Amino acid sequence: MSAKLIDGKSIADTLQQELRSRVAGITASGRRAPALATLLVGADPASHVYVRNKRLACERIGVRSLPLEFGSGISQAELLAEIERLNNDPEVDGILVQLPLPAQIDSTAIIEAIRPDKDVDGFHPYNLGRLAQRQPVLRPCTPFGVIEMLRRSGETFYGRRAIVVGASNHVGRPMGLELLLAGATTTVCHRFTRDLADEVARAEIVIVAVGKPGFIKGDWIAPGATVVDIGINRLPDGKLCGDVEFDVARQRAARITPVPGGVGPMTVTMLMHNTVLAATR
């Protein structure tokens, strides 16, 4: 068997068209466009690329982008003051602080300072708590994007065995909560999991977010499974690859996401979705 590729790029393009129409409807009715403030601290090249992509997505959809940039020496108090100003600005609907932050800044304190109804990353404990209690409002973009991508490509979740490999605060854990919400029998694996190969082999839906190239061996995948690879790793030759041994996994899975072109485009799309939602609630 050779798996069908799940085309996240094409699903993201469709969703972005839908969002563009919604924003056009908002402005046609005389209201201002949704507005997203993006805060970028320091000179991390990967963060600059991610934030530029987010700002370009705003342009495509008609969301007003407020790009804010700070030197790597900014203090926590200064950054908190900036967030407070944006929290109180009625012209700003969404606030995104790009992570990671420099060592002198406590990321948890920054995330918790953002008003939950402007927290378009969905990282605030209020929003994670709402997701855990099955009443989600603003949902973490990557896990939300995975669910939306799978739904739109015909995947069902009720009663199905799903596994998440990786238990990070911003991806793996909320991914587990999303799968529970969708009705899947959900296992979350992490660095202390024994017999990972056996856990993966039992799953009908395998979602991986560990950040290690080729960490999940292709022959662990059950025949006919759906495989979603959230990892984006840069190899020494400059090429991007995921966390799953793609060529082997592809021979066993029924459906699999490519890297790049799978989950990546969905993440920024769900950020736009959250911004429009924050503006219209």
Estimate the crossing angle of helix 264-280 against helix 141-152, to 10 degrees.
Answer: 110
Count other Cβ atoms within 10 Å, centred on residue 164: 30
Nearer to ligand GUN, 67 or 187 (CB): 67
Contact call for residue 99 and ligand GUN (CB under 6 A): yes
Is 54 an active-site residue?
yes
Find the binding residues for ligand GUN in span 128-157 (CB under 6 A): 141
Out of 19, 23, 33, 97, the residue judged to bind ligand GUN by CB under 6 A: 97
CB-based burial label for 28 (10 Å; 0-12, 13-18, 19+): exposed
Is 118 an active-site residue?
no
Q: Any known ligand binding at 278?
A: no
Q: What is the closest distance, in whole angstroms, from the C-beta atom of residue 154 to ligand GUN in the complex? A: 26
Count, residues near ligand GUN per rule CB under 6 A:
7
150: left (phi over 0), alpha (psi -120 to 50) or beta: alpha
Residue whose Cβ sits closest to ligand GUN: 99
Strand (E) or helix (H) holding 41 = strand 35-41
Q: How far apart are the first and last CA of the chain?
A: 46
DSSP 96: E
Nearer to ligand GUN, 6 or 96 (CB): 96
Cα atoms found within 13 Å of the Cα of residue 204, Cβ hemisphere only: 12
219, 175 Cβ separation under 8 angstroms? no
Q: What is the closest distance, in whole angstroms, from the C-beta atom of residue 68 to ligand GUN in the complex? A: 13
Q: What is the closest distance, in whole angstroms, from the C-beta atom of residue 141 to ligand GUN in the complex? A: 6
148, 263 Cβ separation under 8 angstroms? no
Nearer to ligand GUN, 50 or 220 (CB): 50
Is 98 an active-site residue?
yes
Q: Any known ligand binding at 279?
A: no
Q: Report the catalytic residues.
A: 54, 98, 121
Residues binding ligand GUN (CB under 6 A): 50, 96-99, 121, 141
Binding-site residue numbers for NADP(+) are 166-168, 232
